Structure 1
Amino acid sequence: MRRIQKPELLAPAGNMEKLHMALLYGADAVYLGGKMFGLRAFASNFSLAEMDEAVAFAHSLHKKVYVTVNIFAHNEDINALPDYLRSLQAIGVDALLVSDFGVWSVAREIIPEMPLHVSTQANTTNWAAVKAWENLGASRVVLARELSFREMKEIGSKTEVELEAFVHGAMCISYSGRCWLSSYLTGRDGNRGACAQVCRWEFSLTEKNRPGEVYDVAGDDQGTYIMNSKDLCLLPYLPQLMEAGICSFKIEGRMKSAHYAASVVSVYRRAIDACWRDPQHFTVKQEWLDELEKVSHRPYTTGFALGKPDAAAQVYTTSSYLQTHEFVGLVRDWDNGRLTVEQRNHMKAGETLEVFCPDGSLRTLLLKEMRNQEGEPIVAAQHPQMVFTCQAAESIPESAILRRKIP
């Protein structure tokens, strides 16, 4: 009988800043990629030295770091793999995410004590497959996104291995991310980390014998985005996920901003804690939903969780993102009535900004008495990542986010 446990909140970390923000805003663990062997080649990713620093920081907070080694490997990839695996073990990462059986076999031989998690790229959709991975020594299986709560629960009832599932973020149009569109149309292999997101492009129809004539797929003068999925959001369904035996709730988004990492993690941290305290009376607070609207996202969907999605799960008119607020600054320090801020977007004296703190609380800040690093008065912070100070009577914590409402 599977024991229900408080689930881990697992967040993406595309670079060091995003890792810090995810952990400070409430994640229990992060997953990240190195410069090789991961499926997000266009994220900043981590050198081995940076990974060493990341692991040390996470472990100082008693939190974990998982590293993606989840490409579908070719021969030249396998040749370079053993030394890389040994380096990851020496750094002290907590687990590896693997999808390719060849990579799995090499990892088992080279670093036999390292916990291995089966990546969602392995498209594990049934209890027999989960049990097979369990028998091969998997510490955890990340379930395919194409599963309903009912299917997850059945898998949980027939297996013992840890189960992880995505709860929030972008959805891939192809089965568990196994897609060849990018490779075919651009030469960038999505299964080796270089996806061009062809599914988000606008498509029209042509007929072979009329090469100069282009027709919209749907009757709309803006064309149509026929493979453009909405973003996943399972915030209202945390009790069902816990009941299904999911032990790790995963947020997608290594390519997203530090603001996104902090905001989404903060919401799910508070929601998980509330649900664990009283799952029978769990309700989604409006402030959580408002927070999820503030970051860049597509309209939300429940994906496959409630059954097979219908046409409403797609966005047919645009691939643009929605958001109500923009990230303009990051708090670096507060001392004796002055706030030190690192600029992320243009700010000027006289503006009133929202302050989003690591504990999820909100405040307001009126920008006044702005000074540059030389102590000279300024009327605006215009230069990318410039550091300035401003007056702030009350203490504001380090790593708090400054943002403004988009008109």
Structure 2
Amino acid sequence: MTTVKKRPEVLSPAGTLEKLKVAVDYGADAVFIGGQAYGLRSRAGNFSEEEMREGVAYAHARGSKVYVAANMVMHEGNEEGAGTWFCNLRDMGIDAVIVSDPALIEICATEAPGLEIHLSTQASATNVETFQFWKNYGLTRVVLAREVSMEEVAEIRRRTDVEIEAFVHGAMCISYSGRCTLSNHMSMRDANRGGCSQSCRWKYDLYDMPFGQERQSITGSIPEEFSMSAVDMSMIDHIPDMIDNGVDSLKIEGRMKSIHYVSTVTNCYKAAVDAYMESPAKFESIKEDLINELWKVAQRELATGFYYGTPSENEQLFGARRKIPQYKFVGEVLAFDPDHMTATIRQRNVILEGDRVEFYGPGFRHFETFIKDLHDAEGHKIDRAPNPMEILTITVPQEVKPGDMIRACKEGLINLYQKDGSSETIRA
């Protein structure tokens, strides 16, 4: 009997209303956002009630869903008003909430019946029994802990009908399922209540401390200060494994990332899913293009997390970088005039006359050209636009569409590790 592959949802981050619209336009089947309470990203530009309503209307009109992260760990007194808040989310059309604290789950289930609840990755779900426990409480989906292997994903899928959501791209936390207290200790900001200062991403000095002697810094004798920082996850070339093993939702991390990141990564995973659902051969034919595309956004180095084994020192950030993105986000298209073949753009970074740039848009559309006939908002010819958010016009060789993004192609350096531990620098 032939098994029919189920198409998974592409779930993208949306830290602001602008990012929500970009994610939806670039192919997200669903987005996850934060409200102004109960979330873990206090600095992510969280949504007001009015913005939520607008975001829900925008997404639903285009066939996409909106989930709200309410995944903080509650302290005494935090529960006040939670029931009303969940009721408001339900009544404005939010499709589900993502929760980890059992008290918040209980409040939502009893005081806002009808609002779907998904278990957050913060709850560390790693086995079938945990899935069954939360199913008995009425939860319809579980977001897997990042520590789960692909073999375990397959076993969980085989033994439960609860929806599986799994991370496929983005930052990895150095602590188990994100439950960390480094930030609390070092900066008095509670990581489990939305205030993480990302202490694991800091650079630390390393000391030699012989007994009874003064400590001495050994900075400089190693290529990078001591770090606890993990590389980012990317499963773009393993999408077949995710689909074949029954993952229902492919989650992209990054509510605090830029619209360049959101548009690029969403575009890639949407294209990957589309291609594999068409045929394995189609996916293989574009896989390298997808990998290369992801390297056009600023990010840490990439690995597959715990899916294919326990990460080693190669999945930690230290020493010379092995690969550096070669592109810079410089603008977005606001309008296109087909009669004069000009594009009106909103500039995000410095643009120079003659810059080599790449336009890209939803559906994995791309083309390269050079900045020509650069004019400011008043129509004056200029050769440089240094100030962010300027409205400019340029001549383009082919049609572009509002919402298309523009990258400048910048030469850079790539550092490659050698077998002896040294590094070689080459021109990209």
| SS of corresponding position for 2:79 | helix
Higher mean alpha-carbon deviation, 121-130 vs 346-355, is at 346-355
Return the match for 1:357 from 353, 357, 361: 361
User: What is the match of residue 253 of structure 2?
Assistant: 252
In structure 2, relative to structure 1, the CA distance for the partners of 1:81 and 1:3 (3 Å cut) is: farther
| SS of corresponding position for 1:39 | coil
Asked if the contact 1:325/1:404 (under 8 Å) is kept, the reply is: yes
> TM-score, structure 2 length as denominator?
0.89
Return the match for 1:402 from 399, 406, 409: 406
In structure 2, relative to structure 1, the CA distance for the partners of 1:313 and 1:362 (3 Å cut) is: same
> TM-score, structure 1 length as denominator?
0.94
Return the match for 2:349 from 331, 345, 352: 345
Q: What is the CA distance between 1:3 and its match in structure 2?
A: 7.7
Q: What is the CA distance between 1:93 and its match in structure 2?
A: 0.7
Provide the rounded CA distance (Å) in 1 between the counterparts of 2:83 and 2:320.
44
User: What is the match of residue 126 of structure 1?
Assistant: 127
The one-letter amino acid paired with 1:348 is L
Asked if the contact 2:275/2:282 (under 8 Å) is kept, the reply is: no
Provide the rounded CA distance (Å) in 1 between the counterparts of 2:154 and 2:84.
39
User: What is the match of residue 422 of structure 2?
Assistant: none
Asked if the contact 1:34/1:46 (under 8 Å) is kept, the reply is: yes
The one-letter amino acid paired with 1:286 is E
1:220 aligns with 2:214: no
| SS of corresponding position for 2:399 | coil
| SS of corresponding position for 2:168 | strand
In structure 2, relative to structure 1, the CA distance for the partners of 1:204 and 1:369 (3 Å cut) is: closer
In structure 2, relative to structure 1, the CA distance for the partners of 1:320 and 1:252 (3 Å cut) is: farther
User: What is the match of residue 40 of structure 1?
Assistant: 41
Asked if the contact 2:5/2:277 (under 8 Å) is kept, the reply is: no
Paired positions, count: 405
Provide the rounded CA distance (Å) in 2 between the counterparts of 1:222 and 1:123.
32
Higher mean alpha-carbon deviation, 127-136 vs 347-356, is at 347-356
Q: What is the CA distance between 1:373 and its match in structure 2?
A: 2.3
User: What is the match of residue 312 of structure 1?
Assistant: 314
1:6 aligns with 2:7: yes
Asked if the contact 2:237/2:287 (under 8 Å) is kept, the reply is: no
| SS of corresponding position for 1:37 | coil
User: What is the match of residue 333 of structure 1?
Assistant: 335
In structure 2, relative to structure 1, the CA distance for the partners of 1:256 and 1:321 (3 Å cut) is: farther
Write the deviation string for residues 124-154 of structure 1: whole angstroms up to 9, x where unpaired. 0111001111111111000101011111111
Higher mean alpha-carbon deviation, 115-124 vs 72-81, is at 72-81
Return the match for 2:390 from 386, 389, 397: 386
Write the deviation string for residues 238-297 of structure 1: whole angstroms up to 9, x where unpaired. 222122211000111111111011111111111111112224774252211111111011
Task: Flag structure 2 segments of 5+ consecutive residues without an equivalent.
Answer: 412-428
Task: Flag structure 1 segments of 5+ consecutive residues without an equivalent.
Answer: none
The one-letter amino acid paired with 2:358 is E
Asked if the contact 1:182/1:188 (under 8 Å) is kept, the reply is: yes
Identity %: 38
> What aligned pairs does 1:178-193 form with structure 2 within 5 A after superposition?
178-193=179-194
Q: What is the CA distance between 1:165 and its match in structure 2?
A: 0.2
Higher mean alpha-carbon deviation, 337-346 vs 358-367, is at 358-367
The structure 1 segments of at least 4 consecutive aligned residues displaced by more than 3 Å after TM superposition are 204-212, 214-219, 279-282, 318-322
Asked if the contact 1:66/1:96 (under 8 Å) is kept, the reply is: yes
